[in-house]
A and B are shown apart, each in its own frame.
Chain A
Amino acid sequence: EAQVTQNPRYLITVTGKKLTVTCSQNMNHEYMSWYRQDPGLGLRQIYYSMNVEVTDKGDVPEGYKVSRKEKRNFPLILESPSPNQTSLYFCASSSIGTIQETQYFGPGTRLLVL
């Protein structure tokens, strides 16, 4: 089954404790991205990657890092989480090559930073 998986699904942590949220897709997609969703602000893109070793900032990259060492994985790293990073995070992927490829989203990771 084609899917995007995220782990963990729920996470409670404390300020300053480094964490990683993993994202994996099994569709051989080149493009992957991370969004955060906050009440009243909708979904906003954090980072994206067009292929292995190619990443770029989205609209709200501050406080986040990403890496793309393998095509299927695109982890989101919070080196020193702060309470304002409490949010619902979604990973997405799509193929590149033809215009308007459908994007597939993961189930989400709900993060609470105390």
Chain B
Amino acid sequence: DAKTTQPNSMESNEEEPVHLPCNHSTISGTDYIHWYRQLPSQGPEYVIHGLTSNVNNRMASLAIAEDRKSSTLILHRATLRDAAVYYCISHPGAGSYQLTFGKGTKLSVIP
């Protein structure tokens, strides 16, 4: 799996947008980019994933750079409940189901 690099921590004010960056410069052409988050005292939960195009779902948006060497998870309006560790994971396609978690970005949301 390609190595991903994320900032250790970020802060955001409540109700403001948050942009969480991830670098994956060694990603292969068929690797997907997954984002999971881990709320305090809980297991990781899926947020979003994509390959080349930008993706949106009810939780977040994922913007993938044209060269695929970086991506950004966008939370449109941060709430206190979004305070968590966010993991960006580069994941190969079919046949592999192991998720390789890095250290992630700890997001703090300020009321």
Contact = CB atoms under 8 A, between A and B. Distances in A.
Given A100-B32, A103-B46, A42 B101 contact: yes
Given A103-B46, A106-B43, A96 B101 contact: no
B43 A96 contact: no
Contacts, number: 52
B99 interface: yes
Q: Main SS of chain A's interface residues?
A: strand
Interface residues of B, number: 20
B42 A96 contact: no
A54 B104 CA distance: 31
The interface size bin for chain A is 20 to 34
Contacts of B106: none
B42 A108 contact: yes
B69 to A, nearest CB: 20
A43 B44 contact: yes
A43 B101 contact: yes
Interface of B: 32, 34, 36, 41-46, 49, 91, 93-94, 97-99, 101-104
